[in-house]
Amino acid sequence: MYVVESKGGAIACMLLALLFLGTWPALLTLLERRGRLPQHTYLDYTITNMLAAVIIAFTFGEIRKGTPESPNFLEQLAQDNWPSILFAMAGGIVLSLGNLATQYAWALVGLSVTEVVSSSITVVIGTTLNYFLDDKINRAEILFPGVACFLIAVCLGSLVHTSNDADNREKLSSHPTKEKDEARTVSVVNGSSTVEESGNSAAGRGKAGTAGFLVELENRRAIKVFGRSTFMGLGIVFFAGICFSMFSPAFNLATNDQWHTLKKGVPHLSVYTAFFYFSLSCFVLALILNITFLYRPVMNLPKTTFKAYVNDWNGRGWALLAGLLCGFGNGLQFMGGQAAGYAAADAVQALPLVSTFWGVILFGEYRNSSRRTYVLLFGMLFMFVAAVGVLMASSGHRK
């Protein structure tokens, strides 16, 4: 079994995880904006997310010969370690709920703000819990100022969304009502998510940041956002953040048994075994919920079928790639956390730095916004840069 032992190796894992975890949300957002049903996308994502955990378990978890204190992945499957397994699976369940919620929040609130607010809540709650679970191996005088930076970013992120929403309403108020109210339906034809539009709102006619662009995006995307409450979107984001704040402490308990739930002589779960069970519960819950949403959709999405999902190849490759990125990103985060402390590993929650980059480059977020919005956006990102540096500087070394 391969074990990350150095602080440098742990930081390398965190940085790579940061890139992966900041990119996969952009891919799912891209598909939703192109009109693919989120139920179809999330089912594809779920499959490769689980595949990543299996690959990690049978590679890193089987490298080198195991010892009685640190058995390999396959050896641990036969051991009596169910208390730790249940902690790992509980972590997978709350992560699955959080990921599912953000899938809808991205449409309502935007990729950048969703990731900022949910990640900041994750750090404020989750990092505090991990600090005490890890027996305070991280430097508190550095760690908690970093947590404060994330807390400020939560407030700024909410203000950014409110300001940008006001900017968009002002743009739309000057746009012809006829175009805003154009007929639009989403249907499933020959197994693919399609968008039927009328009028002159052909995709790509409006420039990013203009009212025409916003109307075209609304006509094209899968989840309708015009007329939705700002607080509804933020409420979903806060729910996701609370879910995300629980998965890392649960994983910490699964691998380090701070509450002494294992029988005497039973070794702690390795990162790779815990991650396998963590991903398994995430996979099962995601399957159950998303197959249910095929037939009982939320947020006025059209009904579809499992057969339609199987035949929907529109954007499937991007969804499968997103699952791999998320799976490997989570695995790298846990590998780094086991070495340097899970509180420090929460630095990967600075993933909105990556997501915001994709949001601005790919989706034209904040184009032609007000000066107030730009000032708030800069402040939000500045606090994130400060926070990630401070949290990584607090890294300790697990004995």
pLDDT confidence bin for 49, thresholds 50/70/90: very high
pLDDT at 119: 81
Residue 268 phi/psi, 5° resolution? -60, 150
Summarised one tens digit per residue, pLDDT across range 54-92 is 999 999 999 878 787 889 999 999 999 999 999 999 999
**pLDDT of 52 above 80:** yes
| Residue 267, domain extent | 7-393
Q: Answer yes or no: is pLDDT of 199 > 50.
A: no
Sequence-separated (6 or more) residues with CB below 8 Å from residue 279 = 49, 50, 52, 53, 92, 327, 330
Residues 6+ apart with CB under 8 A from 322: 24, 25, 27, 28, 45, 48
Answer yes or no: is 378 within a domain.
yes
- Among residues 32, 23, 40, the alpha carbon closest in space to that of 313 is found at 40
Q: How many Å apart are CA 278 and CA 245, to the nearest integer? A: 15
Decide if 231 is inside a domain: yes
253: in domain: yes
Determine, yes or no, domain membership for 26. yes
**How many domains does one find in the chain?**
1
Average pLDDT over residues 126-138: 76
What are the backbone angles phi and psi of residue 90, rounded to the nearest 5°?
-65, -40
Query: How far is it, in rounded angstroms, from Cα 46 to Cα 61?
Result: 21
Instruction: Dihedral sign for Cα 5, 339, 18, 379, please.
Output: negative
Please, where are the H alpha helices in 174-226?
177-180, 211-220
Q: Give the model's pLDDT for residue 152.
A: 86
Q: Is residue 399 part of a domain?
A: no
- Comparing 33-47, 82-96, 191-205, 286-300, the range with the smallest average pLDDT is 191-205
How many angstroms separate the CA atoms of 364 and 359, rounded? 7
Q: Which residues pair with 193 in a beta bridge?
A: 188
- Better-scored residue on pLDDT, 326 or 200: 326
Contact criterion met (CB below 8 Å) for 241 and 123 = no
Widest pairwise Cα distance in the chain: 72
**In which band, very low, low, confident or very high, does the pLDDT at 188 lie, cut at 50, 70 and 90?**
very low
Q: In angstroms, rounded to a whole number, what is the distance separating the alpha carbons of residues 134 and 185? A: 51
Strand partners, 188: 193
Q: Classify residue 291: in a domain, yes or no.
A: yes
Q: Which two tokens stand for residue 259?
A: 């509450």
Using the structure block, give the residue that is written with the tokens 């799976």: 327
- DSSP, res 297: -
Over 307-365, what HEC string results? HHHHHCCCCHHHHHHHHHHHHHHHHHHHHHHHHHCHHHHHHHHHCHHHHHHHHHHHHCC
Indicate the pTM of the whole model. 0.82
Measured distance CA(297)–CA(305) in Å, rounded: 11
pLDDT digit string, tens, across residues 368-387: 889 999 999 888 888 877 87
Alpha helices, DSSP H, located in the chain: 7-33, 38-59, 73-76, 82-109, 111-121, 128-133, 140-173, 177-180, 211-220, 230-256, 271-295, 306-311, 316-340, 342-345, 352-363, 371-393
Residue 398 domain flag? no
In a domain, 1, yes or no: no
In 3D space, the residue among 69, 122, 70 whose CA is nearest the CA of residue 345 turns out to be 122
- How far the first Cα of the chain sits from its last, in Å, is 18
